[in-house]
Amino acid sequence: MEIGSEFWDVPVTNDKYKLFNESVSWFLSGRISLRAIIKDITKNAEVHTVAMPSWCCHSMLEPFWNAGLDIKFYPVYFQEEIVQRVSLEADVLLVMDYFGYTGRIPDLSSYKGIVVRDVTHSIFSATYSDADYYFGSLRKWCGVWSGGYAWMTDGRKLVADDYDDQGYADLRMKAMELKYNYINSLKNSDKGYLEVFDEAEEMLNNVRVVSAAERDIQLAHKLNVEYIKNKRRKNAEILRDAFPKWIVFREMKHTDCPMFVPIIVPNGKRDELRRHLMEKEIYCPIHWPVSNHHHLDKKEMFIYQNELSLVCDQRYNREDMWRIIDVIRDFMEG
């Protein structure tokens, strides 16, 4: 069975967990949630600059870029572990934790501008009260079709422009059904689900600020949080113990829920190792591709060029983690 790539299911329970603020609004994706926030900011304040971490996905940059804000990067780099030197010299400040490993942002109480916190990676690990706006995406954690969310500290609700997703949720549903069939060897299935996922992703560049699918809103409040956290932590511990000198985050706090186990692959072999894993049907992403909007120095580029995110999510068990470990060790020793 393949390991990694897109999700196809959502682990739920009858219990409800208070992951989200009572004033949360639901959108098609995390990117669209951020667009809704930026629209509210620019409507209510005169802003010209945004400070963002140098280590981030281009999809976080584009909403600010398209809104006409000047992006200033503050340094995030690897020096035995992740260092974030947050700059406070901008009208808007975006902060985030990485991959569920929390608590590395300095005190922001002296900052006078607008704080936006991306809680995509930390939603299962920490509760924060240091921002004006919060947003994220559940698509990175489980098989929701949409699952973007956002809320404001002042209790106002962000409003979608539209409810017509132009068939996005239907495409995601179809892709997940195809992947389920492939994973379970049903209906003579193949990897056609990849094209459907890609088609859906392309749509996000053009849709308006659209609400999430009602199905996902309901599922979000029924997530089996303890199952997700326990499985991910157990899987992550196996991988962390196997590669203690490579792990990006030296500490996993008892409250952390890892999205991945990011490692620095030694000797410039990241891309070669990743291709080798793919040949064995193990799909570990890199975070992130460098876009035209990024402006990075050599120290900041290092993590883009050498980081690999090992899969540790709730779909997999101890045997799957050892399969990943064995393939990596065979490659590095070969």
In whole angstroms, give the CA distance from residue 64 to residue 139: 21
Are both 68 and 131 inside the same structural domain? yes
CB neighbours of 80 closer than 8 A, spacing ≥ 6? 250
Query: What is the enclosing helix (H) or strand (E) of 331?
Result: helix 318-333
Domain membership flag for residue 249: yes
Domain membership flag for residue 275: yes
Are both 144 and 195 inside the same structural domain? no
pLDDT recorded at residue 141? 98
Are both 189 and 114 inside the same structural domain? no
Domain limit, last residue, from 107, 123, 152: 152
CB neighbours of 169 closer than 8 A, spacing ≥ 6? 28, 145, 146, 213, 215, 216
Domain membership flag for residue 262: yes
Are both 247 and 278 inside the same structural domain? yes
Are both 143 and 172 inside the same structural domain? no
Query: What is the enclosing helix (H) or strand (E) of 94?
Result: strand 92-96
Q: Which domain holds residue 22?
A: 18-152
Structure tokens belonging to residue 277: 């894993």
The CA-CA-CA angle for residues 113, 117, 120, to 5°, reads 165
In whole angstroms, give the CA distance from residue 216 to residue 168: 13
CB neighbours of 157 closer than 8 A, spacing ≥ 6? 23, 25, 151
Query: What is the enclosing helix (H) or strand (E) of 225?
Result: helix 225-242
Burial degree of 330 (CB within 10 A; 0-12, 13-18, 19+):
exposed
In whole angstroms, give the CA distance from residue 183 to residue 191: 10
Are both 148 and 189 inside the same structural domain? no
Omega before 288 within 30 of 0, i.e. cis: yes
Q: pLDDT 10s per residue in the chain (334 long)?
A: 899 999 999 999 988 778 899 999 999 999 999 999 999 999 999 999 999 999 999 999 999 999 999 999 999 999 988 999 998 899 999 999 999 999 778 889 889 999 999 999 999 999 999 999 999 999 999 999 999 999 999 999 999 998 889 999 999 999 999 999 999 887 667 889 999 999 999 998 888 999 999 999 999 999 999 999 999 999 999 999 999 999 999 999 999 999 999 999 999 999 999 999 999 999 999 999 999 889 999 999 999 999 999 999 999 999 999 999 999 999 999 7
In whole angstroms, give the CA distance from residue 91 to residue 109: 15
Domain membership flag for residue 326: yes
Are both 238 and 306 inside the same structural domain? yes
User: Which amino acid does the sequence have at 111?
Assistant: Y
CA Rg value for the chain: 20
Of 41, 49, 99, the closest CA to residue 74 belongs to 49
Domain membership flag for residue 120: yes
Query: What is the enclosing helix (H) or strand (E) of 307?
Result: strand 307-311
Domain membership flag for residue 251: yes
Domain membership flag for residue 104: yes
User: Which CATH number covers residue 283?
Assistant: 3.90.1150.10
Are both 137 and 173 inside the same structural domain? no
pLDDT recorded at residue 156? 95
Domain limit, last residue, from 121, 152, 183: 152
In whole angstroms, give the CA distance from residue 71 to residue 151: 23
User: Which CATH number covers residue 70?
Assistant: 3.40.640.10
Q: Are strands 49-53 and 70-74 parallel, antiparallel or unpaired?
A: parallel
Query: What is the enclosing helix (H) or strand (E) of 117?
Result: strand 114-118
Are both 22 and 137 inside the same structural domain? yes
Are both 136 and 182 inside the same structural domain? no
Are both 148 and 174 inside the same structural domain? no
pTM of the model: 0.96
- How many domains, the chain? 3
Are both 147 and 182 inside the same structural domain? no
